[in-house]
Structure 1
């Protein structure tokens, strides 16, 4: 997988056309067969991509397509955020908009349910956690987050937890137009905002200053990862847009 933010951190990554064809072909089969070898073989048959090409692009078969589906949703969410006029919104409402856009980018509820089950398995749990983090990172990147210290990590860790709970809630939501999910998103973000206010109060507390000051000093060396390619190399490769 290539780094989707090498060229422009606010631009969605380009999807390989053949992976896109396989992904479009597998989705109708996922509801019945899950992200399985049977579904992957059906996708090869229906997409017109040769098995050799499909195996080269997706060495793990349907698992790689499940990851590609997740990345497609992140890309569509980023495009929606970039196209929207969010200037008049409060920041918490911008985050809510992004999470709603991410839900709306899911093509099929059953496909996500099957993917959630897949990435909950012990053999794939680490990748599932990475995908949660990647979505949180995509949201903050799309919203123009400029943090470069420990806040870069805490924002994404917190939003990863929020996103995981939103997905599980949405999978069980049968309300009209998912109104219950949109309300749930608002409540979860309100919870996060209360935690942030409590953290700010603790940092400003005279009584807690010795503790918070020492903690801030210990964490001051943490910085966000550098997404730019190393400057001592002659160049870098990124997918053509």
Structure 2
């Protein structure tokens, strides 16, 4: 977030995304808590009451700050950076595996140095009451990556591609957060192996499945992730 950013006229949605990167920095020390939010608000010269309003729990009754809302905003801020970075069309000239690798790697680079914030975010997401929302967060990230990569699949492939990528991304984040190798070399190698494995799987699947196999039994479940009913 730019130090000179004027958030006085920002909407609550804009405020959430603008504050999220600084909240993540504070979360390394304070966790995804009100203390982290207030620290970020002070850095951005945002009224504490307004900042808390932007991140209150979904019920809106208790007025408590929601950790998952802050994590949502952090993910959204990375989404925006990724979309802006690749808006120049450079992905069009890359093989599909390179598009996916570049997009995932950009997301990893964007949060490098914030491993402790990620570790704490993962712990929050793993709480029973947050698991469904965390799955939707992973699905959303995978969907944005595939769309930027140019995927237009509308059949069952739409769901399988996103489900597989979401699992790869989650596994890569788990390696990333513990990776102390130089330049995160272990994470890069892990990601490359997983993407290569998926490319081989997709090729084999295309050979084995006919066009009349247009649906899987779990498509309805995955559809709920794409269009969640709150």
TM-score range, shorter chain: 0.7 to 0.9
Q: Residues 66 and 115 of structure 1 are in contact (CA less than 8 Å); yes or no, is this contact kept in structure 2?
A: yes
Asked if 1:178 is matched to 2:176, the reply is no
User: For this pair of structures, how many residues does the alignment match?
Assistant: 203
Residues 21 and 135 of structure 1: is their aligned pair in 2 closer, same or farther, counting only changes over 3 Å? closer
**Structure 1 residues without counterparts, runs of 5 or longer:** 1-13, 205-211, 228-241
Correspondence for 1:93: 98
Is the partner of 1:83 in helix, strand or coil? coil
Pairs within 5 Å for 1:85-234 = 85-106=90-111, 108-203=114-209, 213=212, 215-216=213-214
Asked if 1:76 is matched to 2:78, the reply is no
Provide TM-score, normalisation by structure 1: 0.74
Query: Runs in 1 of length 4+ with deviation above 4 angstroms?
Result: 14-17
Asked if 1:47 is matched to 2:52, the reply is no
Give the superposed CA RMSD.
2.8
- d(CA) in 2 for partners of 1:87 and 1:185? 21
Pick 1 or 2: higher relative contact order, CA cutoff 8 A, min separation 6.
1
- d(CA) in 2 for partners of 1:196 and 1:17? 38
- d(CA) in 2 for partners of 1:51 and 1:164? 33
Residues 44 and 86 of structure 1: is their aligned pair in 2 closer, same or farther, counting only changes over 3 Å? closer
Residues 191 and 24 of structure 1: is their aligned pair in 2 closer, same or farther, counting only changes over 3 Å? closer
Provide TM-score, normalisation by structure 2: 0.77
